[in-house]
Amino acid sequence: MIPTTLVLITIDLDQQTALFSATLIIAVVIWYTWLVFRYYSKKQQQSPLPPGPQGLPIVGYLPFLDSQLHSHFALLAKKYGPILSLRLGGETCIVISSPGMAREILKDNDVTFANRPVPNVVKAMEYGGRDLVFTPYGAEWRMLRKVCMQDMLGHATLNQFYCYRRREIGETVRYLHSLKGLEAVNVGEEMFLSILNVITSMLWGGTIQGDKRSSIGAELRQVVGEITDLMGKPNVSDFFPRLEWMDLQGMKKRMKKVVVKLERIFDEIIGLRTEGDGKKSSSSNGNVDFLQVLLKLREGDSTKPPLTMFHVKALLLDMVVGGTDTTSSTVEFAIAEMMNNPRVMIKAQQELDAVVGKAVEESDLDKLIYLKAVIKEVLRLHPVLPLMVPHCPSESCTVAGFRVPRGARVFVNVWAIHRDPAFWEQPSEFMPERFLGPEGEGRWDYSGSDLRYLPFGSGRRRCAGMDMGERIVMLSVASLVHGFDWSKLGQAETVEEHPVSEKFGIVLKKREPLVAVPVPRLTLTD
């Protein structure tokens, strides 16, 4: 029989345990309620996300996106305002469509927005994200930027490499002249090949000569086409990062195969550039090239942090991929717009005839004031990167009273800003004259200082190849307009208006390729 005292003690202990448990539960409930209250109070104190269209669960607004993103975002901006937000899968996207908002992103908060999201297919490359475009803002990026701006793309270096640009553009002019005005050409394709030859000649033209240069160029054209195709396709892994490891569309796998080809080409070129003892060999014609500059910097250990072979290959890739489609597309748009506007074509040819001799030289370009205005107007109407390369804030911040979360993808819709009737008279019309006169010439440069006109971007991550791109585009367009009249097949002088509609992609292109007949204006000289 259990003693009465023990029973009473047991009952008392049970009551104490129950009381303790009840107290603990109440404390946990009060603590949790306080946390929830604090969370929602803090959330209410935060600035709201910018307004934007509602999407669906999980996929967000993805099913409703139009393939013409630049014009689709411009329409959304008319409804929701110059700063709007979209949820695309698991990613928050912010779209900026006014100069004022662009200034807050690219000028006022430049350091915060100095990073860029790295696409999944770029990560598939061994040196993916180690190039100038995608390297995070910091010491490594500053080193790469300095190498590009000071050692590769500075005025002195570009002047030194003029022999390559002159040679390749001259070859294109001679080929078109050989057609004697009897055959039509695809202007975009011809200019892509020509400018790829220009770029690769500057990259390693002093290293590779003759048939070897032609065979490597042909192989590189195919590889560049595959890379730009993969980079331009929507990738599920970019919108749902947690599914990245699955590579549902197989794009990462495909990119790895392309990179193997690219690595072999680069290794062969670099191998040709070095001797058995690893020292630089001299080029056969005494001319230097970008590859020589990069290898010299790498061997000299003169950069901090050090320039590695990964960096060398990444910069070569930036030059090839970033300089071909963008430049050739601009030249194609320029010829198409001038064909649609015979008055502009005639005026440009008259200026060229007054300034240039038999062949256009880069020394002539600064005197071609009207042609410069034509190119500026082309880049206003058809910016090659209509949404720029997306920016990615390193921390949450407030823009125009709205919250832009850390890690969001921020698109600056240059295309919409360049066509905003609040800032541009008759914004849809091709009017080079808007860039003439003291106000036009002085204000509208390519530096991005005036956020109403920023075809090459603005701020720290403005396009490093701006000067080189301007030179190649000007020299190409001047040579084509000076040397030829352009018409449709079967028409001698005038043409029907050729549609200048656009197709969105990694680079803005003409929806319908420009096919035209180059009719020689001048007698070709050696």
What is the reported pLDDT for 440? 60
Specify the higher pLDDT residue, 439 or 332. Answer: 332
What is the reported pLDDT for 490? 57
- Strands 402-404, 397-399: parallel, antiparallel or unpaired by DSSP? antiparallel
Render pLDDT for 354-407 as a digit per residue (tens, 0 to 9). Answer: 999 889 999 999 999 999 999 999 999 999 999 999 999 999 999 999 999 999
What is the reported pLDDT for 494? 45
What is the reported pLDDT for 25? 76
Position 9 in a domain: no
Specify the higher pLDDT residue, 462 or 272. Answer: 462
Position 381 in a domain: yes
Amino acid at 152: M
Lowest mean pLDDT: which of 20-24, 68-72, 495-499?
495-499
Contacts (Cβ under 8 Å, ≥6 apart) of 363:
none
Q: Would the pLDDT of 505 be above 90?
A: no
* Position 5 confidence tier, pLDDT thresholds 50, 70, 90: low
Render pLDDT for 168-225 as a digit per residue (tens, 0 to 9). Answer: 999 999 999 999 999 999 999 999 999 998 998 888 876 666 677 778 878 888 888 8
Render pLDDT for 93-109 as a digit per residue (tens, 0 to 9). Answer: 999 999 999 999 999 99
Position 41 in a domain: no
What is the reported pLDDT for 489? 66
Question: In this prediction, what percent of the chain has a pLDDT beyond 90?
Answer: 60
Domain assignment of residue 464, given as a range = 66-520
Position 436 in a domain: yes
Three-state DSSP class for residue 29: helix
Top-confidence range, 111-115, 147-151, 315-319, 440-444: 111-115
Position 437 in a domain: yes
What is the reported pLDDT for 4? 54
Convert 322-346 to b/e letters by CB count within 10 Å (16 or more is b).
Answer: bbbbbbbbbbbbbbbbbbbbeebbe
Top-confidence range, 194-198, 297-301, 475-479: 475-479
Specify which residues 409 forms β-bridges with.
93
What is the reported pLDDT for 279? 46
Domain count within the chain: 1
Render pLDDT for 31-83 as a digit per residue (tens, 0 to 9). Answer: 677 677 666 655 555 789 999 999 999 999 999 999 999 999 999 999 999 99
Per-residue pLDDT, averaged over 148-171, amounts to 91
What is the reported pLDDT for 411? 97
* Position 278 confidence tier, pLDDT thresholds 50, 70, 90: very low
State the DSSP code for 434.
G
Sign of torsion, CA 73 76 81 84?
A: negative
Position 260 in a domain: yes
Q: Are 392 and 118 in contact (CB under 8 A)?
A: no
Per-residue pLDDT, averaged over 282-307, amounts to 77
The CATH number given to whatever domain includes residue 234 is 1.10.630.10
Mean pLDDT in the chain? 87
Position 342 in a domain: yes
Torsion angle in degrees (nearest 10) through CA of 438, 441, 443, 445: -170
* Position 526 confidence tier, pLDDT thresholds 50, 70, 90: low
Contacts (Cβ under 8 Å, ≥6 apart) of 88:
60, 61, 62, 65, 239, 409
Q: Would the pLDDT of 280 be above 50?
A: no
End-to-end CA distance of the chain: 125
Cα 146 versus chain centre, distance = 19
Position 26 in a domain: no
Which of 369, 495, 412, 485 lies closest to 107 in space, CA to CA? Answer: 412
Contacts (Cβ under 8 Å, ≥6 apart) of 324:
192, 195, 196, 199, 224
